[in-house]
Amino acid sequence: MISFTWPDFIYYCSNSVNLIDNFRMATILITGGTGLIGASLTELLLSKGHKVIILTRNLKMAIDKQSADERLTYARWNAEEQSIDRDAIEKANYIVHLAGAGVADKRWTSKRKKEIVQSRIQSSGLLIKALKDIPNNIKAVVSASAIGWYGPDAIPPVRPGGFTESDPSDKAFLGETCRWWEESIQPVTELGKRLIKFRFGIVLANDGGALAEFKKPVQFGIASILGNGKQVVSWIHIDDVCRLIVYAIENDKIEGVYNAVAPNPVTNKNLTLHLAQRMRGKSFIAVHVPSWVLSTMLGGMSTEVLKSATVSAEKMQQTGFQFLYPQIDAALNELIKR
Ligand SMILES: NC(=O)c1ccc[n+]([C@@H]2O[C@H](COP(=O)([O-])OP(=O)(O)OC[C@H]3O[C@@H](n4cnc5c(N)ncnc54)[C@H](OP(=O)(O)O)[C@@H]3O)[C@@H](O)[C@H]2O)c1
């Protein structure tokens, strides 16, 4: 007997128009597949019957962690040395390009900023060189970008729906990084391959990223509202991120840039209070962390944490994609229950 969970049912109904036949048993090469998004995406792809090759700089560490599933393999690459496993490119049908030094992992010194940019540009360059030099059957490349592309919300707002994909990049560090990142992967289209660039919002997941940080003080009964808490957070549930990537791969009509955010962004205060209520009921106190404290703790990164960025999901929704978690309550409920 085939059994469906509700999310599966919605997924199959809403996205059934796609080219499942073309996509059956494909091999997907994921750069940075050992990370937060890559790990969940790998699980989803394997559950759908596909093969996954993860390109990693640390082959030994990745293989040590390897599950028993023989459809998951690892291959080595190193963008600094411009070396890549030839076999992986030959075998793959699709590439999902997620690799890059963590934007929020360390303080933004000038050395770290260089690493954040270079790790993305060099790795895109290496992929493009490999696609030119190595005979391959790759149909499409899905590349990560980020909503850091956009600047802060205008006051008063220019468009209530938020930033759309045609808005220009911000002039601050993250905006410039995203522009260089997107430009660096663009030559894929000159090779006759379909290219999809996702500007990911703040990915909410249990295994790392922003939510793990938001949860830490809540575990001690403190809901830490950042600054005045009015800044808008354009978030997305990890399952929707992975479903979006699969949707883009499966659907030949999806091409170009898309915001990957849930359709209902929330303020930082709202998100923090929802999370605290879900985790602790009424037994927490809400505390505002002043901007100057954040600035002392985080340095330049604090401007991003305090930035209000309302980003529109409309372009993706117009393709027919249905979010499993359009609202923050359901998204947080699901993650906390998991
Ligand atoms: N998570 C979010 O909220 C979010 C939001 C917007 C955009 N994004 C972007 O989406 C992509 C995937 O996100 P994620 O959260 O899964 O990232 P992640 O957990 O930090 O994983 C990224 C992977 O990139 C590789 N990597 C790290 N440093 C690198 C370097 N210096 N050079 C080359 N590769 C390096 C690592 O793989 P190996 O060590 O195995 O090589 C790592 O597992 C990232 O580019 C991220 O910036 C994420």
Residue 1 has a pLDDT of: 36
- Chain centroid to Cα 23, Å, comes to 22
Which residue lies with its CA nearest to atom 11 of ligand 1? 98
Of 20, 8, 2, give the one whose Cα is nearest residue 251.
20
One pLDDT digit (tens) per residue for the chain, 338 residues: 334 455 555 554 444 444 444 567 999 999 999 999 999 999 999 999 999 999 999 998 777 776 678 899 999 999 999 999 999 999 999 999 999 999 998 999 999 999 999 999 999 999 999 999 999 999 999 999 999 999 999 987 777 899 999 999 999 999 999 999 999 999 999 999 999 999 999 999 999 999 999 999 999 999 999 999 999 999 999 999 999 999 999 999 999 999 999 999 999 999 999 999 999 999 999 999 999 999 898 988 888 889 999 999 999 999 999 999 999 999 999 999 98
Residue 159 has a pLDDT of: 78
Residue 18 has a pLDDT of: 46
Residue 148 near ligand 1, beta carbon < 6 Å: no
Residue 17 has a pLDDT of: 42
Residue 180 has a pLDDT of: 98
For residue 43, report the distance from its CA to the centre of ligand 1, in Å.
17
Amino acid in the structure at residue 24? R
| Residue of 34, 77, 239 to mutate, ligand 1, most atoms within 8 A of C-beta | 34
Helix axes 209-219, 268-280, angle to 10 degrees: 60
For residue 104, report the distance from its CA to the centre of ligand 1, in Å.
10
Taking CA atoms, 89 is separated from 130, 144, 206, in Å, by 7, 19, 31
Residue 162 near ligand 1, beta carbon < 6 Å: no
Residue 119 near ligand 1, beta carbon < 6 Å: yes
For residue 335, report the distance from its CA to the centre of ligand 1, in Å.
21
Of 208, 218, 226, give the one whose Cα is nearest residue 277.
218
What the chain holds in terms of domains, given with CATH numbers, is 6-203+235-262+311-326 (3.40.50.720)
For residue 210, report the distance from its CA to the centre of ligand 1, in Å.
13
Which residue lies with its CA nearest to atom 17 of ligand 1? 35
Residue 265 near ligand 1, beta carbon < 6 Å: no
Residue 102 near ligand 1, beta carbon < 6 Å: yes
DSSP for residue 93: S
Residue 144 near ligand 1, beta carbon < 6 Å: yes
Q: Which atom of ligand 1 is least distant from the CA of 144? A: 10
Extract the runs of DSSP E, i.e. beta strands, from the chain.
Answer: 27-31, 51-56, 72-78, 83-84, 94-97, 140-146, 194-200, 202-204, 222-226, 232-233, 235-237, 256-260, 266-267, 285-289
Three-class SS of residue 155?
Answer: coil
Distance, in Å, from the CA atom of 248 to the CA atom of 243, rounded to the nearest integer, reads 9
Residue 16 has a pLDDT of: 45
Residue 79 has a pLDDT of: 94
Question: In a 10 Å sphere around its CB, with 0-12 CB exposed, 13-18 middle and 19+ buried, how is residue 115 labelled?
Answer: middle
Residue 22 has a pLDDT of: 54
